[in-house]
Chain A
Amino acid sequence: MSHLIRRRKFLIDLIKASAAVGIAPYLSNLNIAQAQAANYKYFIAIMPHSLALLFPQRPVTIHNNFFAGYGNWQFQGRGSLSEFDAIRANLLVPRGLTNEVSGGLVGHFLEQGGFLTGYPTRGASSYDLLLAGADNTSGAPAGTQSIDWMIAQAYGFQPLALGFSDRGYNEAEAPHFFRAISWSSPTSAQFPVFDSKALLALLKTRLDCNSFFATRSSAATRVSELQQEIKLFSLVEKEYTKRLRVDRSYSSEFDQYIQDFRNKSLQLSQNVESLSSGGSALAHLQWVCDWSGPAYSSPHPPQDEGYYLAKCKELGTLATKALQSRVTNAVTLSIVLDQNHHRMHYISDLDVGRDGNSHEAIISHGEGVKRYMGLAAQAVIHLVNELKTAGLFQDTLILFGGEQNDGNTHTAQESPVLIIDGKNPGWHGANVGTLSSNGQPPRAHPYSSLLVDILSRFGISRSNFGSPYNIRGVGNRGIF
């Protein structure tokens, strides 16, 4: 194709991209319920890797016996969602979302790599998705970002990423995750991914808890210290600016560091003002500054179920306190129980689940997934209760789910996700999405559409995202 024709196509695509803004979103019900933009303040994503869940209505052709047991992604009967009954009022279930792309490729979201970007990190895809920045997910188009990152960045925050570490956390697959507050720095030699206790120490430093503590005793001394620190960071900013002028090839890195120093100075200036006027404006810092901290440091999936649940609950508490103290507005909780989902549920006729259940028990009764879902649901319910107690729940939207509906075959024709809408207690577990009339599964719809819809509920317009068509004119249609 000559460059002229290609250019023409490029320009046409650009026009189509801008026209796409008006296309009806996937979760139309959610939009009807919430008419104005930026409805939610807080976003939490919860990722229990590989739920190995089921098609809700499709006739089953594999693992028939298994489907007779527990696990269907529904409330009725022995559906696994019944574990969420306690928060059903706020819960809606998107249907028909798929991560399966052209050619019947497997869906394997690999945690943050895909769950928060919609891009399958294994297997090719034609989605040009969320083309909004420099952060890339391996295999995804350059610029693919995760929605937790985007929601945080839109309001000047960095996301917080918490969870167990063994599945899919490498920088090549999910670099944005490694740029969360909780990833690179608050670690220890023993826990090289992140350490909950070290994380709390970092948050206390970031929030300038010294200023908060000074509200109770030595405000004047602290003000004097802060003024020195403001001068210091102003000088440091100049040093990095000088360096930036010399090393232009690192301009984006130096810009980031300079911005950090500015933000730090701004924060300290605000703290000076707050201390000078009595310190009440720093009261929100108490939730982190006064907290003695989590009991567990380990990010690794524990073998013991009781420990697992306690740790999950603790992460929920940490997330809530971080939101209360305004250190971020977006949190991801990765609560994978086992790095290998095959081991967790079933892989072959020879397999025995990690929970020690026999093959028969797993297949016939879904004992493995039942117990896992029960634990995950308890952790979510604990988080919701924490958010309610903190008065944040009504401004929170929670996305919960896994990347595969069948962990054995790595397929995700219907992604097992649900939304907990803190603002609306009227959902009662309703199905959302286009269901076909004959009881067959709903028409497949890209999972990423849901993510774009969620972003719109945080005031991030659909017009920010990629073309509805692949911009280079190859591959399938895009996400709209």
Chain B
Amino acid sequence: MRLVLSLTAIGAVLFALFNNCSAGSFKSAQGSSSEDTYGLSKIRCSDRDERAANRIYVLSANEYVNIAEDLFPAAKISDLVSQTSGLPVTPDQFEGNLELQKQSGFILDRMGIINFFAANLEVQARTDCGGILDAKCRDKVVRTYLYKIQRRSISASAISTILNETKDLTFSHFIKFLFLTPEFHFKIYSNPMTSYEFAVKLAMTLSGSFPDDELIAKHSSLIGNRDAIRGEILRILSNPKNLRRFSSRFWGRWTNVHRLLGFSLPTGTPFDLKKQHDDFLTKIEAALLSDQRLSELFYSANGKEVPDSLLSHPAFTMVTSRVMGTEIRSNYVQRGVNVASRLLCIEMPSLPEATSQEIAQAQDEARNMSALEAINFHRAKPQCAACHDVIDPIGVSMERLDPFGNYRVEFHDGSPIHSEGTILGRRYGNLNSMVRAVAESPDLAKCYVQNLRAFVDGPEAERVGACDGEVHIEESPNTSMLDTLTDILASPRFFERFSTPKQAMWAQRKRLVTHLYGTGLRRNQWADSEIEYWLDVYQASGYVAVIEGIFLSAEMSKSTPTSEAFVDRLYIVLIGRAPTSEQLQSGVSAVNAKSRKAYISIFLTQSPFTTETKAIWE
């Protein structure tokens, strides 16, 4: 695998650190030759402007629940679960990756959650303080719980400020205050992270909750220390509660098996959804902790046609089936899509409306055909084939397993299930060899890494650019799953966000143009197309053309009808403050004697613009 590690100021340090690692499947970039291969030596990665901003994510429903479980072991968590079920989610992504949203009531609508936490902490405080809820008790509550609630290091002065500011509140309202703070609801990591934040993100990733005291005690020795990180991963996941949180939050979603818990089977169906779901995750957990390879989890020869595999597990066969009235039927399309799209990351072509209609019509036409006839009918239709060429080799072969995971050779209507063909460039002759082809495929390993990164780093994983100070994670089905997890959590991307200088430049220009609209034109709103237009101008003709264009617009004339207003606005927008009386007088005279355009030219070539803010625009 080719590796890339670009060199930021921080990255250079990391480079040295990672080169010293003795274990692990990832490899670091081998000096400048790798960089030259990618032309990275031409890119300066020192622009920290765009990188400096925090990215903030909101606690997910499960994270609220996990934190409550860890804070209040005796609480009735089901009361909280009902409060969190309506929280917004990011569809088709892992939970916990939802960024802040501008939405009225976004925090206030969490009052049910806040009240749950506040009520339970108050009960705990009564016990801790012997029923005396005085100032001393408040101090104790803050010192004992706030670093867990807010998941950050709390200084003595911060404690003192909080106690002082809330002294007029009743004890109940004081407790409620702690759970209304942004640091409780939001996951805020600076860039790059502090070592404390690193420990918090590690804990949030693995256990979906705040770090325990042992992890906090080790926080300063973790960054860059792969062995120490691996040790902590094992320690945290050796707690069955944490292990199940991790497996359900990542594996449950990646495989889609989490949906099983929402199924409603016909009465009397001999299938325990919860038991099968849990058994599925248990199998994964055992493989993870015993350092198994990914391919082993998906294929283990047992001398039978149905191999020991996640794909043949009843939880997987059921989740890829459908309940139709009183009957449960496997669905080869669902199975094919689930494996191809979710587990192998094969992109399905998008369907235009017209094709969707044709497919609907084809489904109608195939209504009275046998299962086998319908499959062949679809394959013969060109508009269906683009997807079915991918879906069918997997999906049809998997039909050898009924919804309950039992082996069979016929569809429900008695037509034969053919289980041979080609998948991922490999011939297979039966279900066993098809599953093996999937398990040993590099696509599976690649997709696993891709999904694990999305789970760990959230949308950040999508945002990194060519300047990403990144090590490549080994994408091989023969790699230990624990090693891959360790590599990802130990990689620079886990604790630092990177962007290219070009990205930073465009972001900066966009901020300046929107500043001209907001502060300059006094607009609250504008269209993207307007901003894009001026960015084009910026690129083609420079910042002077942009400033002139907007300051000489009819809209600006209307907004600054007098020369005084115009000069005043120019100073506020371009210097960041109002002009002195001398500057105002001089500017007005220039505008009146010449023109607004002439004055802008003068303004842009003289102090204070040239000495104070010109550099920002350039």
Contacts and interface: CB of A to CB of B under 8 A. Distances in A.
Interface in A226-245: 228-229, 231-232, 235-236, 238-240, 243
A260 B188 contact: no
A459 interface: no
Contacts of B109: 184-185, 202
Interface in A104-143: 106, 108, 122, 128, 131-134, 141-143
Interface in B103-152: 103-109, 111-112
A232 B361 CA distance: 60
A184 B86 contact: yes
A184 B545 contact: no
A187 B533 CA distance: 41
A471 B180 contact: no
Interface in A293-331: none
A351 to B, nearest CB: 7
A342 interface: yes
Contact of B361 (A189, A254, A256, A347): A347
B497 to A, nearest CB: 12
A78 interface: no
Contact of B553 (A14, A179, A350): A14
B180 A143 contact: no
A450 to B, nearest CB: 22
A137 B525 CA distance: 16
A205 B111 contact: yes
A216 interface: no
Contacts of A188: 82, 85-86
Contact of B540 (A3, A184, A205, A472): A3
B529 interface: yes
A360 interface: no
Contacts of A231: 168-169, 173
B576 interface: no
B54 A158 contact: no
A306 B532 CA distance: 52
B9 interface: no
A186 interface: yes
A236 B177 contact: yes
Contacts, number: 163
A267 B70 CA distance: 35
Contact of A185 (B56, B105, B169, B262): B105
Interface stretch (A4-12, A37-45, A160-168, A284-292): A4-12
Interface in B201-217: none
B111 to A, nearest CB: 6
Contact of B537 (A3, A249, A348): A3
B108 A471 contact: no
Interface in A341-364: 342, 347-348, 350-351
Contacts of B106: 184, 253, 256-257, 260
Given A229-B173, A236-B180, A239-B182, A185 B525 contact: no
Contacts of A253: 100-102, 106
Interface in B538-575: 540-541, 545, 549, 552-555, 558
A252 interface: yes
A239 to B, nearest CB: 5
A7 B556 CA distance: 14
B108 A264 contact: yes
Nearest to B533: A472
A142 B532 CA distance: 11
A228 B169 contact: yes
A240 B101 CA distance: 14
B536 interface: yes
A179 B527 contact: no
B360 interface: yes
Contacts of A248: 53
B86 A260 contact: no
B530 interface: yes
Given A198-B86, A231-B173, A257-B106, A250 B180 contact: no
A260 B549 contact: no
B400 interface: no
A171 B91 contact: yes
B173 A228 contact: yes
A181 interface: yes
Nearest to B530: A471
B107 A257 contact: yes
B291 interface: no
A18 interface: yes
Contacts of A471: 527, 529-530, 533
B416 interface: no
B560 to A, nearest CB: 15
B170 interface: yes
Q: Which A-B residue pairs are the 10 nearest by beta carbons?
A: A142-B528, A187-B86, A185-B109, A249-B53, A253-B100, A184-B88, A189-B85, A236-B180, A243-B182, A131-B527
Interface of A: 3, 6-7, 10-11, 14-15, 18, 106, 108, 122, 128, 131-134, 141-143, 158, 170-171, 178-179, 181, 184-189, 192, 195, 198, 202, 205-206, 228-229, 231-232, 235-236, 238-240, 243, 246-250, 252-257, 259-261, 264, 340, 342, 347-348, 350-351, 410, 466, 471-472
Given A142-B527, A243-B182, A247-B53, 10 more contacts: A15-B554, A106-B353, A141-B528, A170-B91, A186-B86, A231-B173, A232-B180, A239-B182, A347-B357, A471-B530
12 contacts: A10-B549, A11-B554, A181-B105, A185-B105, A188-B85, A202-B109, A231-B169, A236-B181, A255-B102, A256-B103, A340-B360, A347-B361
